[in-house]
Structure 1
Amino acid sequence: MTIRRVHRTILLTAVAAATFLPFSVAPAVADAPFVAPEVTFAGTAPGTVTATLHNPNDRGQCWAEAGVGPENNHVFFGESKPESLANPGQTVETSLTGLEPGSTITARGGCADTGPAGGYVLGETVTVAVPGVAPATGSFGG
């Protein structure tokens, strides 16, 4: 009889302990894969290239950058101002102005991972034509 009481006590203790375990105990869910931004570049005015940038991730910020001039100087579209950065799921349009009309630049997008893993990912580099001077408009005198 004593053995049954001991087994019953152990069983009841185990059930009680299991009943009071927190429900938040669950397997860790891995972060979604972190990918480069979706970005398109277009010459939009003489000396201006515009990037349409989408952050497809659930975290982080994305930007557009370029290599400009004979030395391929590194610059950021929108001067890296907050409004030129795409937050998770966001699409922004940002421009790079003051470029030499008729030249070309190299451009790409990138995203910084603000999750626990950190790091960043860059998109493919593309060559973009900078529009030349717009044709003159007006009327002929007479």
Structure 2
Amino acid sequence: MKRRIHGAILLAASATAVTFAPFTAAPALAASPFRAPDVTFEVTAPGTVTATLHNPNDRGQCWAEAGVGPDKNHVFFGEGKLESLAQPNQTIKTSLTGLEPGSTITARGGCADTSSAGGYELGDGVDIVVTPAAPKPPTGSFGS
């Protein structure tokens, strides 16, 4: 003789045999602390300062910026183009050109956290004297 066990009876029987443990979520992983970039600045040619910029974070983008001229006008190295932004754990070089020789700029790096946590970190400003143009060598003609 074949007997059918109905789903409701089977469910009730198995529920008495199984004990469910209370649900506990796994602890959330804390995001690593977000930091300003590691950056060095170097005068690489007359009127040019180059930044070596490292993004030490596992998220976000980092850049180099400067205050230029007597009013310390804000400009980005590499004109703020995508290739002038250091991605997570990346090191890049980017330059600021066309600077007035003999002037002083104030440069620094910054990183923006592009995750849902948001925010940004800025490094300390560094004053850099822009190298004046090298004097032209005499040409050997009259008046030199």
Structures share fold, TM-score greater than 0.5: yes
TM-score (norm 2): 0.81
Q: Which deviations, in whole Å up to 9, do the C-alpha atoms of 1:67-123 show, x marking residues without a partner?
A: 000111000000000100000000010000010011110000000001221010000
TM-score (norm 1): 0.82
| CA–CA distance in structure 1, aligned partners of residues 42 and 68 of structure 2 | 15
- Where structure 1 has 5 or more consecutive residues not aligned to the other structure, the ranges are 1-8
Q: CA deviation at 1:129?
A: 1.1
Alignment identity in percent? 68
- Give SS of 1:83's match: helix
Q: CA deviation at 1:136?
A: 2.6
| CA–CA distance in structure 2, aligned partners of residues 118 and 138 of structure 1 | 56
Match of 1:99 in 2: 99
Match of 1:126 in 2: 126
Larger Rg: 2
Q: CA deviation at 1:140?
A: 4.3
| CA–CA distance in structure 2, aligned partners of residues 32 and 86 of structure 1 | 18
Higher helix share: 1
The answer on 1:13 being equivalent to 2:18 is yes
The answer on 1:57 being equivalent to 2:62 is no
- Where structure 2 has 5 or more consecutive residues not aligned to the other structure, the ranges are 1-14
Change (3 A) 1:26 1:102: same
Question: Paired residues, what number?
Answer: 127
